[in-house]
Amino acid sequence: MSTRNTYPSAVKLGEKYEGISEPLLDESIVLKLTKSLEDDINLRRFFIDNSFVGHFKKKGKRNELYEFVMSTRVFPSILAKHMDYELFNFFLDIRRNAADVFKKNLSRGFNEVCEKAENIGLFEAKVSILDTETKICLISSDAFSGTEGDLCGTFYKISESLFEYWIKPESKGKMLEAWVYGILKQHFGENHTLKIYCNLVVREQIDTTCETAEDLVSTTYKPDLTEIDCLIMKGDHVVIIIECKTGKTGPSDILKFYGLIKLINADFGVFIISNTDKFKTDQEFENIKIIPGVVNREDFPDILINYLEAKILPP
């Protein structure tokens, strides 16, 4: 079940700006995935370095698995007892496609991947195909026990979190942000002096002290200035901003990030990069710590945690 609030909350960022926060869809799933990514480099590469589109949709080629998942939000895991039906052959073909991708990128079998995804919460309730003499239909696994017929396979309902952060084409890079937020919550979430936020849209604060309704209407629209991936506050003060980047990253991106730190008067910034295309080693620029290549690093997230502890926790 989604745990996202219906109405995003506003976070005061200094005297002039505020951040509109949209919490993660389901924090418990993110924390479980964070735990799985901690020491599994292959899993990081699968989720952070690439996306569902990258794995399953090749340019110029039709992919039935991709089309099925995008239109139904269901992942097939069929184990057919009968091979006579064209429908079963269709699902078996796309299952083989998925199995090949899992084997190549994760070195794991299809069933192992699906079970792991179900344990984390990325796959939800199973749905089963029921083969009777008269028709083929979808039923819930719980309902199957009292129904006559042959259980021909299972289908996994894809969680809203997985769809939003990894499967949707426009969500590329969101999984890295969710992972870093999970790291922060896992290691600093019990510290009640700190407040941790993610997905903040920054804008000027709205003046609600207007004398007339007309004045209020004229001041309620404020354009979005930028976005903050993760942020840690002590009281009403911004201590650290974290930027996550999976695509091309260069010095201009660091300068823009530096400008954001100055804009809201934060103490420090951390710039996390999934690859090492431009930045090969850890660097520091002014009050920014740059940590590249996090997907393939065995010392990550420890290096991030140690840095943050030194900066925000009392000696």
The encoded tokens of residue 282 equal: 């850890």
Highest mean pLDDT among 41-55, 140-154, 281-295: 281-295
8 A C-beta contact, residue 228 and residue 296: no
pLDDT band at 261 (very low <50, low <70, confident <90, very high): very high
pLDDT at residue 34 is higher than 80 = yes
pLDDT at residue 130 is higher than 90 = no
8 A C-beta contact, residue 130 and residue 136: yes
pLDDT at residue 128 is higher than 50 = yes
**What is the structure's pLDDT at 214?**
60
Domains and CATH numbers, the chain: 9-30+172-312 (3.40.1350.10), 52-166 (no CATH)
Of 35, 1, 32, 5, nearest to 21 (Cα)?
A: 5
Q: Please report the beta strands in 22-149, taking only residues with DSSP state E, as ranges in sequence order.
A: 74-78, 123-131, 136-140
pLDDT digits (tens, 9 = 90+) for 1-32: 344 444 467 888 877 888 888 777 788 999 99
What share of the chain has pLDDT > 90, as a percent? 44
Of 185, 203, 247, nearest to 23 (Cα)?
A: 185
- Stretch 211-224: mean pLDDT, rounded? 60
Give the number of other Cβ atoms within 10 Å of residue 79's Cβ: 15
**What is the structure's pLDDT at 172?**
81
Q: Whose structure tokens read 């990514």?
A: 37
Q: End-to-end CA distance of the chain: give it in Å, rounded.
A: 40
pLDDT at residue 60 is higher than 70 = no
* Rounded Cα distance, 192 and 25, in Å: 22
pLDDT digits (tens, 9 = 90+) for 263-289: 999 999 999 999 999 999 999 999 999
**What is the structure's pLDDT at 134?**
46
Query: Phi and psi (nearest 5°) for 20?
Result: -95, 115
**What is the structure's pLDDT at 222?**
67
- Stretch 252-260: mean pLDDT, rounded? 94
Rounded (5°) CA angle 226-228-229: 140
8 A C-beta contact, residue 175 and residue 198: no
pLDDT at residue 139 is higher than 70 = no
What mean pLDDT is reported for the chain?
82
- Stretch 233-255: mean pLDDT, rounded? 93
pLDDT digits (tens, 9 = 90+) for 69-98: 998 888 887 655 554 567 677 777 888 889
pLDDT band at 104 (very low <50, low <70, confident <90, very high): very high
